Chain A
Amino acid sequence: MDSSLISSIGSIFAWAAPVIFGVLGETITERSGVMNLSLNGSLILSAMVGFVAATTTNSFLIGFLAAAAVGSLIALLIAFMSIDLKQSQIAVGYVLAMATKSLAYFLGAPYVGAHVMLLPTVPIPLLSQIPFIGPILFKQTILTYLSYVAIVVCYIWIFKTHQGLILTGIGERPSAAYIRGANVNRLRYIYTGIGGAMVGVGGALYSLSVKTWNGTLSGFDGIGWIILAITIFGGWHPIKGALGSYLFVVFQYVGIILQPLMPNVNSRVFQVAPFPLMILALLFVNIGNADWVERTLAGLPENVRRTISKVLRAMRTSPPAALGVPFENE
């Protein structure tokens, strides 16, 4: 097998790791009923802080911990503003997305061009020897391995544990969960904080592994919005969300491959093309929710209607019922 092909397929998994951390973090945050709209800014700020912390202490661990702390703090601020100060999560999230991005570029400007640290790859013994799959999946950085683990852990936590049931409860029917003894607001704080920390780790991956810190030229502005879109696209399900992340990265990769084949088209067109594709995909997962679709379907012959609605239902996702709604126990 061609070794350059293997390394390029392998890099898809590395590139997807920060997106996956972001999507999983946002998934559990939103499942608890809080919307963290600040992702685009918190990703950039945590990337900057992670980079500065890692390069000044010469420690990856400190870099990632600092980034996680930053992501978590921003998320907790949204939780506080929403739960305790009764402000709109969308308003607060949007303001923070703008403010933290500017803050990152302002504070991070002196560190542009500082010495670059890139997370080393650590091949897993034995597993990396498997032909083809081995070098693709198991010749990666530790954080990429953690991204695989995180998908599985999130899935098990949400769907197979009692805690996960409560998580779904506080996002869908907070008042019912409250009556059954769940401390809704405290749990929302916890899940928002953890989700934010995961976003922070994703940010640090951009500055310490996939790319590096280059101030306004770092080239991951906009990814935060895509992560929010992928979370919806994945229907607040960790595995579907992870698949969406891989799909997005594949789109990006295809752009790079197509570029030399179509020299007349500017390279930046290929860089932005995956973004609209991703967001238009949202249309397909949402269209089943619209009233007019149901009305139109009702007029169709029975067998056609049944097939179409089956397809729509398979694609359809709907958000946690209490997403963005503050909880008050009467």
Chain B
Amino acid sequence: MISKEQKSKPNRSSFFLNLLTNRVSSLFIAVVLALVFTCLVILIIKANPFRVFEVIFSGAFSSTDAVTQVLQAWVPLVLASIGLMFTFTAGLWNIGMEGQIEIGAICAYGVIRLFMDSSTASPAIVIILTMLAGAVGGSVWALLVGMLKNFGGVNEIFGGLGFNFIADTVMLYLVYGPWKPIGVANGSTKMLPRSLWLPQIPGSYLSLWALGIAILGVVITAIVLKGTYFGLKIKAVGKNNKSSFLMGIPTSRYMLISFMLCGIFAGLTGALQITAFYHVLRTGISGGYGYLGLLVGMLANVQPLVTAAIAFVFIALSKGAAGLGIDLKLDSNLSGVIQGTLVMFVLVMDGIRKVIVKKNKGARIG
């Protein structure tokens, strides 16, 4: 609308305004600003930005080994981010995902412990049971946050954080206490027998099964959110809780369901971290994927396919930055700086766009 009006009398300022109000160009500007900011941060610490970006890029993509590691880490991040689509759509901040991943992993390992020493159980069935246990554990943990919000009036951000801390406590208690391997207490449990590992590509950490589950998760979520009546109802609840309630949608039930769906993805993430990657239960198994997933989700604006792409970029940054410590003696937290400032500048540009659009509307009316 605006661009049409301004086309009639082109001048430099309207070209500039168009740049700021167009979604694609404003996203591009946000990326450039985030890169400029990151360069400044790197210069403060007296390092060469180009060298830093080179190390990050080659750390993520220089060899097939590096790429498989990126893909391996993409699996938990994309599952976490996809799960968060459900809560974001319902207008909820599931900051408790980190704990849901941990509890999922704990439940999954609990099942494995039952069958670890039995030689009769078929590995395929045990692995399926493990996944189910993870999903159930994660969704129950998420449901608790939802119930605290719904019946206790506790904001989901604080309820979620509380349950994250509780999950941490449970994890620490188990791996240093009853579940510690005989003799040592190093923050992880006994390793799974090889028969219970999800098959990996020989010589790498990547399991095609895990990758397949992640891709399947993206597809299913896209279908549920975009193509079903159920997805539409969750969206209605998120957009306007009060009017959906008046329209006859049981809003609190949909809120709880979206928490549970999110928790299922979190729990699966935790179970996969055990069966496909670590092969033990250990502290820090959630790996910050829940927290990072929230950033991915904010950028992706509830688009499952976009989520998958952004998750890939983010995890490549994280994996690539891990090499900074070895090559340049820099702290690997730089990846967090890049990810955070990127989201921040996208929010800034979105704000600028809103302000300009509103002003133009006002000018036309007045």
Contacts and interface: CB of A to CB of B under 8 A. Distances in A.
A86 B354 contact: yes
A81 B291 contact: no
B159 A95 contact: no
Contacts of B193: none
The listed residue with most B CB atoms (<10 A of its CB), out of A81, A99, A107, A216, is A99
Contacts of B185: 266
B19 interface: no
Interface residues of A, number: 50
B277 interface: no
Contacts of A81: 347-348, 351
A188 interface: no
Given A279-B162, A282-B154, A290-B153, A98 B295 contact: yes
A265 B175 CA distance: 10
Contact of A273 (B44, B169, B344): B169
B85 to A, nearest CB: 15
Interface string B334-357: 111101110110011011101100
Interface stretch (A20-28, A148-156, A158-166, A225-233): A225-233
A229 B45 contact: no
B176 A99 contact: no
A287 interface: yes
Interface string B17-28: 000000000000
Q: Summarize B's interface: helix, strand, loop or mixed.
A: helix
B366 interface: no
Given A84-B351, A102-B336, A109-B331, A269 B158 contact: no
A95 B173 contact: no
B330 A109 contact: yes
Given A98-B340, A279-B162, A272 B177 contact: no
Contact of B162 (A87, A99, A106, A280): A280
A282 B173 contact: no
Interface string A270-287: 001101101110110011
Nearest to B185: A266
Contacts of A92: 344, 347
A102 B347 contact: no
A107 B41 contact: yes
Given A95-B298, A272-B165, A107 B340 contact: no
Contacts of B165: 222, 272, 275-276, 279
A110 B151 contact: no
Interface of B: 41, 44-45, 93, 95, 148, 150-155, 157-159, 161-163, 165-166, 168-169, 172-173, 176-177, 185, 291, 294-295, 298, 330-331, 333-337, 339-341, 343-344, 347-348, 350-352, 354-355
7 contacts: A85-B347, A85-B350, A94-B95, A95-B347, A102-B339, A105-B333, A110-B45
